[in-house]
Amino acid sequence: MTLTELKYIVAVAREKHFGKAAEACFVSQPTLSVAIKKLEEELELKIFERNASEIAITPLGEEIVRQAQTVLEQAASIKEIAKRGKDPLAGPLKLGVIYTIGPYLLPNLVRQVIERTPQMPLMLQENFTVKLLEQLRLGEIDCAILAEPFPDANLAMAPLYDEPFLAAVPVAHPLAQQKTITSEQLKKETMLLLGTGHCFRDHVLEVCPEFARFSNDTEGIRKSFEGSSLETIKHMVAAGMGVTLVPRLSVPGSALDGSPAADQDFGDSSFVRYLPFDGEAPTRRVVLAWRRSFTRFEAIAELRNAIYACELPGVKRLT
């Protein structure tokens, strides 16, 4: 049994395909298949059930793959310990970020990391919360920036900031004349939501549960539309198709400083008004999460420092 063989079975379990797993491991498919067959013969059991259409993991195979992932992490830890003796920050850090945070935090964060720790480049991955949690479990990423709540995956976590939500309405909408808005006022509007899988969709539904149902009743939401990204949703708002909620960091600075120009992009206040909530605003808590077995503590601490060094307008920083 070798670490290479363990790496191969983890790759096949992840990809559910021998050819894709071989590509991910930078070897030929016959090389990968022979190595896995050799391991199965040594263990005297089948790890994978093979047929023409798909690859399935046997019940014992699932346990073996989980243990293989643990062994690979521990082997990687040995290398990390050696690196830390020379430079704790040496080497790339694999960071995952959810879609509704990445575009608004990463440009500033990447610049901060390059300036502060050029020896620790960020390898970035944008995805849904569920997928990032799975990648953390499998060791495909080192840490992730997520928004609570999410399923308990026995991760170490550090709170970063609380981010308020604002309502985005078309500039010609009657609500755009107000200085603030309430969730009650939103109930009668056409609500634009992110598609299923986005955690921010769930956050919006927590603020205004009425948005979860399709209704022609004048007391409820008349219609609900879905978009693939916050920027797509903003364009829909700008076109007058409805209203939505957005996190504070996604709001362009020009939309709040009173200096929009007529030829600016759809995202700013020449087409969209952003209204704070009357009273206590709904918020989401953004956290940094990593596996408890991850040994590069200094890298996590430096990443947190880089995040805190970002501008983060309008959010409440947490320590």
- DSSP-derived pairing of the beta strands 283-291 and 155-170: antiparallel
What is the C-alpha to C-alpha distance for residues 292 and 279, in angstroms, rounded to an integer? 38
Q: List, for residues 280-309, the tens digit of each pLDDT value.
A: 888 889 999 999 888 888 999 999 999 999
What is the C-alpha to C-alpha distance for residues 247 and 57, in angstroms, rounded to an integer? 40
Q: List, for residues 101-126, the tens digit of each pLDDT value.
A: 999 999 999 999 999 999 999 999 99
pTM over 0.85: no
- CATH of residue 38's domain is 1.10.10.10
Shared domain check, 180 and 279: yes
- DSSP-derived pairing of the beta strands 244-247 and 155-170: antiparallel
pLDDT of the residue at 259: 44
Residue 177 belongs to domain spanning: 162-283
Shared domain check, 75 and 16: yes
Mean pLDDT of 73-99: 83
Shared domain check, 265 and 182: yes
- CATH of residue 134's domain is 3.40.190.10
Q: Does an H or E element contain 316, and which? A: strand 316-317
Q: For residue 288, tell me if it sits in a domain.
A: no
What is the C-alpha to C-alpha distance for residues 246 and 33, in angstroms, rounded to an integer? 48
